[in-house]
């Protein structure tokens, strides 16, 4: 029977990478770590952990779609309670404070100050550089989550600030890959930059790689479609001889894929960061995509371009321009959408 020293709750390749490095730096042996993956991700290091609970499929934004994940949440709640009962528990590593399983850990840490437990918020990506709060999530979540938590024997408190949890009183440390624009108290920030990558394949100056995101989820169809058409038109106007696309690993691409000029889809399940050394394109393009930043930091030789921040920041993120600061600081080129910036419409 194992006794946990750390509980990890991660949701993508970035949080998995940073958490693995933190566990090594903090001297926590993997066989004393419990892991909950709140998205379906791959992280080889978790194979050596004491207990791993995997998410059961693609995420959904509908209330009815959550039913398929009830077994996952029951199993996850059991591990949360098991970890909190461990006399050797010393570390929480979590990606936000709004998930059904992460939120109770902030409450538990507040109530047990004498346990000398360290709660680390690990950046997952773009949201850690934006002012994301309860208004950016569907209202049904705040009605349902406290009730579901109670059914699972957990306590859920609706977040009052940034949904990363970095500003919570219980948070000891907030860790990310770059400080430029990072939303967290300065005295809690710790930076673990991605290491520079060697180049094992020379990039082609006439090839473009498009990294897809789930941006379409945060806008109505009527608002998003003109944006998608503008993006496709801009890509076409650049005159690339070869266009590649990389689908989002967990979210459908949406209408934008069919609007693009002729292109090839990369069926590579690795993260953009894992592919960095061999990316065949000299230009990487996206819309509100964390990979533009991480790739630019790992491979400064790449031209990384964000399209349409002037439009999507207004329509999807309540005029929050946090991504502009992040992109500018990292050296990502920002291209305007050319669309009218009136008649705000968000989901």
Question: Strands 51-53, 173-176: parallel, antiparallel or unpaired by DSSP?
Answer: unpaired
- Evaluate if residue 108 carries a pLDDT over 70: yes
Q: Find the DSSP H helices in 138-203.
A: 139-151
Q: Is the pLDDT of residue 60 over 90?
A: no
CA-CA distance, 316 to 194, in Å (whole number)? 28
Q: State the pTM of this model.
A: 0.92
DSSP 229: H
pLDDT tier at 345, thresholds 50, 70, 90: very low
Q: Tokens for 9?
A: 């709750």
Say whether pLDDT at 344 is over 70.
no
C-alpha distances out from residue 74 to 67, 79, 100, 293, Å: 12, 9, 11, 36
Q: What is the pLDDT of residues 23-42, one digit of tens each?
A: 999 999 999 999 999 999 98
Residue showing tokens 């957990």: 154
């Amino acid at each position: 029977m194992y006794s946990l020293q750390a509980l990890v709750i991660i949701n993508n390749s970035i949080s998995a990478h940073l958490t693995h490095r933190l566990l090594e730096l903090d001297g926590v042996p993997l066989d004393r770590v419990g892991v909950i993956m709140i998205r379906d991700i791959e992280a080889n290091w978790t194979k050596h952990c004491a207990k791993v609970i995997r998410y059961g499929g693609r995420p959904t934004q509908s209330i009815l779609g959550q039913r398929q994940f009830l077994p996952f949440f029951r199993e996850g709640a059991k591990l949360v309670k098991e970890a909190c009962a461990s006399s050797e528990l010393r570390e929480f590593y979590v990606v936000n404070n709004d998930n059904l399983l992460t939120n109770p850990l902030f409450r538990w840490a507040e109530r047990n100050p004498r346990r000398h437990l360290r709660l680390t918020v690990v950046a997952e990506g773009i949201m850690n550089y934006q002012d994301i709060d309860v208004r950016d999530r569907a209202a049904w979540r705040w009605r349902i989550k406290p009730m579901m938590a109670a059914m699972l024997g957990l306590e859920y408190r609706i977040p009052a600030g940034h949904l990363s949890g970095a500003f919570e009183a219980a948070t000891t440390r907030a860790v990310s890959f770059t400080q430029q624009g990072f939303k967290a108290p300065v005295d809690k920030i710790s930076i673990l930059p991605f290491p520079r990558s060697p180049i094992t394949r020379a990039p082609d100056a006439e090839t473009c790689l498009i990294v897809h995101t789930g941006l379409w989820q945060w806008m109505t169809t009527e608002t998003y479609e003109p944006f998608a058409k503008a993006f496709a038109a801009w890509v076409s106007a650049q005159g690339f001889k070869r266009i590649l696309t990389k689908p989002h690993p967990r979210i459908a691409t949406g209408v934008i894929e069919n609007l693009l000029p002729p292109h090839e889809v990369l069926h590579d399940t690795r993260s953009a960061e894992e592919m960095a050394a061999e990316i065949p394109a000299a230009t990487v393009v996206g819309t509100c995509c964390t990979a533009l930043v991480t790739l630019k930091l790992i491979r400064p030789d790449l031209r990384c371009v964000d399209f349409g921040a002037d439009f999507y920041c207004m329509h999807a993120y309540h005029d929050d321009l946090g991504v502009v600061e992040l992109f500018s600081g990292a050296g990502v080129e920002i291209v305007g959408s050319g669309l009218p910036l009136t008649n705000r419409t968000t989901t």
